[in-house]
Amino acid sequence: MRWLSEREFVRVKLLYNTDLDALKRVLAQKGVAFDPEALMDHVVYMFEIEDCSRVTTHQLVRHRAVSYDQESQRFSAATREGVVTPASIQTNEAAYKAYDEALKTVYSAYEKMVAAGVPKEDARYILPSAIKTKLVMTLNARNLMHLVWQRTALQAQWEIRELASTLHSLAREATPELWAKIIER
């Protein structure tokens, strides 16, 4: 499987999806017409999401009836290069300077605390929400469609919009018949 969205932030990979043809064969055997709506609960996708900020994963995990396993900061050391910088900060010299200085201070404090013997799970209290994270997520088409509807909306934030539209593209590519009816925003 290939990566979609090779950018500075948010990389998504489809790890597996339910074989729609296997379900369609059962429907045919039972003489039941194919209905995407009826199969939404039975087609499941597992994704790997990387280089996404914790700001965005806080928004993501508000979608329930979805299974998540996320990189823990309790045991893994945080690294300074792994942060997402919003364009509004990147393109504003004064803002970027303040952002960069704050990050340097935060990471220096984190490293000092860990070196002084503070457990990573406690030192992490100081880490920024901009930090990049990785997680696996498994959900069915009904929940994915709800997520796509809500998080590609114009009022959603840029990073989760990017994530939701990438999830949408991968799911649509893997199971086009199921997604034919969704209206593009």
Partner 1 sequence: MKVSLIWTSPRPEKTIAVAMRRCYSTKPIEEIESELEQKGAEYWKYLLGKAMQDKSLDVLEHFTMTLLVEGAGETEVGNLVRGFPYLRATQLKDSDWLLSLNSRTLVELWRDPRGKGFAQLVVSELDGANVCPIFNEMAFGERIRAS
Binding residues (CB under 8 A) for partner 1: these are 13, 15-16, 18-19, 22-23, 26-27, 30-32, 38-39, 41-42, 44, 46, 48, 50, 65, 67-72, 75-77, 79, 134-136, 138, 140
> Which C-beta is closer to partner 1: that of 22 or that of 154?
22
Residues in the chain: 185
- Give the number of other Cβ atoms within 10 Å of residue 83's Cβ: 21
> Which C-beta is closer to partner 1: that of 71 or that of 95?
71
> Which C-beta is closer to partner 1: that of 9 or that of 152?
9
For every residue of 69-123, DSSP letters joined together read: EE--TTTSPP-TT-B---HHHHT-HHHHHHHHHHHHHHHHHHHHHHHTT--HHHH
185 in catalytic set: no
Q: Catalytic: which of 64, 151, 161, 172?
A: 151
> Cβ 2 to partner 1, closest distance in Å?
11
Joined together, the tokens standing for residue 75 give 């045991």
- Give residue for tokens 């300074």: 80
> Which C-beta is closer to partner 1: that of 68 or that of 96?
68
AA letter at 50? E
> Cβ 31 to partner 1, closest distance in Å?
8
> Cβ 93 to partner 1, closest distance in Å?
31
> Which C-beta is closer to partner 1: that of 34 or that of 125?
34
- Give residue for tokens 């704050």: 102
> Cβ 23 to partner 1, closest distance in Å?
6
- Give residue for tokens 């696996």: 136
Residue 169 buriedness (CB in 10 A; 0-12 / 13-18 / 19+): middle
Is there a contact between 14 and 46 (Cβ–Cβ < 8 Å)?
yes
> Cβ 55 to partner 1, closest distance in Å?
19
Active site residues: 151
